[in-house]
DNA sequence: TGTGCGCCTTGATCCGGATCAACCCGCGCG
DNA sequence: CGCGCGGGTTGATCCGGATCAAGGCGCACA
């Protein structure tokens, strides 16, 4: 995000993330950009932002960003890589809650319980902007657009989870999942037609509440129907409209 | 809520809701009480609250409080009665999203899309405190505890929806549903052991993503197992711990 | 008083997706 | 090199819950 670009250079402890010259573009496509931009415009608030944003990472695949039960101190915007969040219930079964791409924000569901209610695990090497929440919250009081932004992020996530909670067929779920991923990549400036699935089939299955075998079968079927091309984790969407139509009951619009 | 008690008496257009002498208790048990109380303590803010809270209702069973697509102007706290929220997808199938009891808040998921993403329908004659959201949001900027309260409400709802999204058996879902209702009634000062189900079986089924027949069967089974007594919509929980244990994977704690 | 209609219950059958099982592939490692 | 192992695919079977079907209230209304 734009502001972290600025704040990052000024941060007292040398940031573990080296500037790659692409930060400006990254910040524009980040979920927080409007908030950061709003802050960046007023000099005094810029100071506040320096205090509350921090670059952290990299986390290697499989590493925990936070764990269920950790005290809630900050929310995280993904700078690079991919993250999954999940909970494990009393009998040890994992439940994947979501996948997060660059520019997206994790940790909002920790506000109410005041501790993280889920684990966050890197699926690929990942880096983050870390926003201390008390400071963020205080800032939100002074800068209305930041407050509004947080409300919207929360409300948006609420809508997303709600859709997944419906009862839908394996085909609908899968089509909606791929379309959603595609549109999220596109929104961040990546290709929405051809991309790499950063998570194993088992995680997709778990997230969609299906068995891994079912995911495999549905993908094979989609391929034979000419909707997608897929080889390992490399995906190309051949018929975006067809795919979207299949998943329409699960998708916004 | 306490503050609406005060504000209600002063409202210029005579409130359609007559005071029943129980408002003070009601406000204490409302989801908004801490926010309202915080505001009520400072004289100047009290004025603000008068402007943004309004008593509305009664809505009779079956009436819409708001409809999907309506512009988002306000959130609603249930004062009395019960409400369900639901969406209908493209092929006309209804999807129940939640049931809301006195003291609970609806409309938060409308913030992001800036229009209501679902219908809200009274299940029993219902009355509300209506909070204009722009004013509420402005107030939240000035009174940090109000902002915090809204964040928490949103985050809490996010957690609740997430649980329902998991894949669980009909028994687990049903047990968790009844336990949840029980605890919510208890939290508002009603009996959590014996209460009236204000929604038809079909709505429960839809909410839990089951068939109405399955709901009926599971309830019969629970009865024969001595977990509950049920006759029509009158429910008594005979074995709260047993029921809670059955649904534990879906419940907080 | 009868009739129709929502709502609920219970039984019989069916089906989507889970589970079990076998196998393939690529890769790290002794 | 041979081996184990995690991840992926595909086939065979099984099962929980959906669907279909029938019947029983309780209640509004002619």
Q: Angle, to 10 degrees, between the axis of helix B43-52 and the axis of helix B2-10?
A: 70
Q: What CATH number does the domain located at A2-164 have?
A: 2.60.120.10
Determine, for residues A162 and B161 on separate chains, whether the beta-carbon distance falls below 8 Å. Answer: yes
User: Domain B2-165 is in which class?
Assistant: mainly beta
Domain boundaries, chain B: 2-165, 170-250
CA of residue B236 to C1' of nucleotide D13, angstroms = 41
Asked if B201 CB < 7 A from strand C, the reply is: yes
CA of residue A218 to C1' of nucleotide C20, angstroms = 19
Q: What residues contact B207, with CB distance under 8 A and at least 6 apart?
A: B84, B96, B97, B98, B99, B177, B199
User: What is the spatial distance between Cα B26 and Cα B71, in angstroms, rounded to a whole number?
Assistant: 29
A75 backbone dihedrals φ, ψ, rounded to 5°: -105, 160
**Nearest protein residue, CA measured to C1' of C18:** A211
Determine, for residues A157 and B162 on separate chains, whether the beta-carbon distance falls below 8 Å. Answer: no
CATH architecture of B170-250: Orthogonal Bundle (1.10)
| Residue pLDDT, tens place only, B186-235 | 998 899 999 999 999 999 999 999 999 999 999 999 999 999 999 999 99
Flag whether residue A141 sits within 8 Å of chain B, measured between CB atoms: yes
Flag whether residue B110 sits within 8 Å of chain A, measured between CB atoms: yes
Flag whether residue A37 sits within 8 Å of chain B, measured between CB atoms: no
CA of residue B175 to C1' of nucleotide C19, angstroms = 25
From first to last of the 253 residues of chain B, give the pLDDT tens digit: 333 333 333 333 333 433 444 556 667 777 777 777 666 665 566 666 666 788 897 899 999 999 999 999 999 999 999 999 999 988 888 999 999 999 999 999 998 889 999 999 999 999 999 999 998 888 888 888 888 888 888 888 888 888 889 999 999 999 999 999 999 999 988 999 999 999 999 999 999 999 999 999 999 999 999 999 999 999 999 999 999 999 999 998 7
CB–CB of B195/B204 below 8 Å?
A: no
User: What is the spatial distance between Cα B115 and Cα A186, in angstroms, rounded to a whole number?
Assistant: 25
Q: What residues contact B21, with CB distance under 8 A and at least 6 apart?
A: none
Strand order of the β-sheet with A64-66 is A64-66, A119-122, A83-88, A94-100
Flag whether residue B176 sits within 8 Å of chain A, measured between CB atoms: no
């Amino acid at each position: 995000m734009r502001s972290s670009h600025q704040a990052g250079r000024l941060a007292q402890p040398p940031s573990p993330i080296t500037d790659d010259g692409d930060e400006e573009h990254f910040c524009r496509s980040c979920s927080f950009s409007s908030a950061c931009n709003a802050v960046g415009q007023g000099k005094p608030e810029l100071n506040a932002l320096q205090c509350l944003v921090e670059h952290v990472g990299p986390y290697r695949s499989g590493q925990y960003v936070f764990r269920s039960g950790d005290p809630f101190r900050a929310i995280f915007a993904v700078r690079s890589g991919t993250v999954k969040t999940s909970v494990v219930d009393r009998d040890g079964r994992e439940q994947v809650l979501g996948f997060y791409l660059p520019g997206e924000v994790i940790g909002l569901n920790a506000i109410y319980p005041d501790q993280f209610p889920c684990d966050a695990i890197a699926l690929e090497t990942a880096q983050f902007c870390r926003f201390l929440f008390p400071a963020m919250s205080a800032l939100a009081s002074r800068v209305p657009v930041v407050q509004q932004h947080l409300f919207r992020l929360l409300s948006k996530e609420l809508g997303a989870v709600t859709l997944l909670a419906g009862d839908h067929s394996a085909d609908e779920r899968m089509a909606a999942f791929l379309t959603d991923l595609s549109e999220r990549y596109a929104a961040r400036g990546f290709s929405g037609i051809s991309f790499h699935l950063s998570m194993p089939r088992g995680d997709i299955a778990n997230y969609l509440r299906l068995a891994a075998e079912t995911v495999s079968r549905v993908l094979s079927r989609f391929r034979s129907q000419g909707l997608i091309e897929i080889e390992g984790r490399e995906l190309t969407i051949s018929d975006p409209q067809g795919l979207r139509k299949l998943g329409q009951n699960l998708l916004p619009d």
